[in-house]
Amino acid sequence: ITDSQDSLARRCICLSTILRNLTFVPGNEHEFAKSNIFLSILGKLLLIHHDHPIRTKKQRNYDREEDADFSDSCSSLQGESEWWWDFLVQIRENMLVALTNISGYLDLSIYDEHVSRPILDGLLHWSVCPSAHGQDPFPTLANNSFLSPQRLALEALCKLCVIDSNVDLVIATPPFVRLEKLCAVLTKHLCKNEDQVLREFSVNLLHYLAGADSIMSRIIARQSPCVSYLVAFIEQAEQTALGVASQHGINFLRENPDSMGTSLDMLRRAAGTLL
């Protein structure tokens, strides 16, 4: 990497970190959510240089090493032409965190498609992306961190879908088969008792999607274990609540409903999705 390349990359990381940190300051979320320029840049950065090329089957001669061709392999193997590879991961992390922070205040329906479409496309892609890059924790974080692009994308979608118009835009973002994959991913997370945060993201998103469109309701219902997982989510909270009530009394449970392992709102959404 040349000095000029290194300087440019570090400047980009510095700027993206400043923007990310500013989104943590209370009140700034509204300003970022109103910024057409910021949202345009953010949408472009979510999926920049990330693609899944169609794999072609080739007859390889394994006896001749000189015939090895990695042109269709992972693009990080292509060497000097992609010197920015390691820097890009950190910039994408900063942008995903910033988007997650402002999503609860962001109404994408007021923006043109060239602004809203890349943001929704990026979030939906990272929510279902099967690659290790999408599901593994960011390499810049500590070893005990669980923060991955998929986790941040699901959190951002949950916050976006609080606004009804955003739910409609999510459902309208092609390809439709990706929404079916999203429902399958959310159903898979429902059974992860050890990760309550992901379970609640899934309950929230399934609730918003099912309530917005009857076609989405049918797709969710067709995920064969989804109904049983939602029932199990409610029953598990009920069993925990009974244990807390028997140990500390019913008044303690009334004053501390979250002691059952989830909130009453989450139980209502799970029940609403079933309905």
Q: Which of 139-143, 154-158, 199-203 has the least mean pLDDT?
A: 139-143
d(CA 195, CA 34): 33
pLDDT above 70 covers a percentage of the chain that reads 91
| Amino acid identity, position 247 | Q
The predicted model gives 50-59 an average pLDDT of 77
Give the single-character DSSP code of 59. -
pLDDT, residue 135, reads 92
Half-sphere exposure of residue 28: CA atoms within 13 angstroms, side-chain side: 13
- pLDDT above 60: residue 274: yes
> What pLDDT, in 10s, does the model give residues 179-229?
999 999 999 999 888 888 999 999 999 999 999 989 999 999 999 899 999
Residue 56 has pLDDT above 60, yes or no: yes
Q: What is the pLDDT of residue 63?
A: 58
CA distances from 54 to 34, 51, 88 (A): 37, 10, 23
Which pLDDT score, from 0 to 100, does residue 60 have? Answer: 63
Give the Cα separation of 60 and 206 in Å (integer): 45
Taking phi over 0 as left and psi of -120 to 50 as alpha, with beta for the rest, 217 belongs to alpha
- Mean pLDDT across the chain, nearest whole number? 89
Of the listed ranges 23-32, 37-46, 47-56, 186-195, the one predicted with least confidence: 47-56
Give mean pLDDT, residues 110-123.
96
In this prediction, residue 79 carries a pLDDT of 54
* Helices within 129-225 (DSSP H only): 132-135, 149-160, 164-172, 176-190, 196-212, 214-222
